[in-house]
Amino acid sequence: LAESMGMKVVYWDVIPKLPMGNATQISTLNELLAHSDFVSLHVPNLASTKNMIGKEQFAQMKRGSCFLNASRGHVVVIPDLAAALKSEHLRGAYVDVFPTEP
């Protein structure tokens, strides 16, 4: 979908996989965060993905970028996401899941 809207799609995965479509694999999460205008998170429920996106990762993202978590609730540190939004470092966020569902 992103490619059809003219976006260049890059990805990094916790489990190396073959690229899909014209997507280009990036070697590290930090590199992906630093270069992306829009980050969409889709990772499995693993011990290594718990709190994988927090203050440090949000700070590495481009100012004015957007963040989407369609993954698992425990993957993102919600107070750190809120702080990145309040400081206007991030332009916006979409959170489909929470650590404790309402």
DSSP codes of every residue in 34-75: HH-SEEEE-----GGGTT-BSHHHHHHSPTTEEEEE-S-GGG
Write down the pTM of the prediction.
Answer: 0.86
7: CB partners within 8 A, 6+ apart:
38
pLDDT digit of tens for each residue in the chain (102 aa)?
Answer: 677 778 888 888 877 776 677 788 888 999 999 999 999 998 888 999 999 999 999 999 999 999 999 998 899 999 999 999 999 999 999 998 888 876
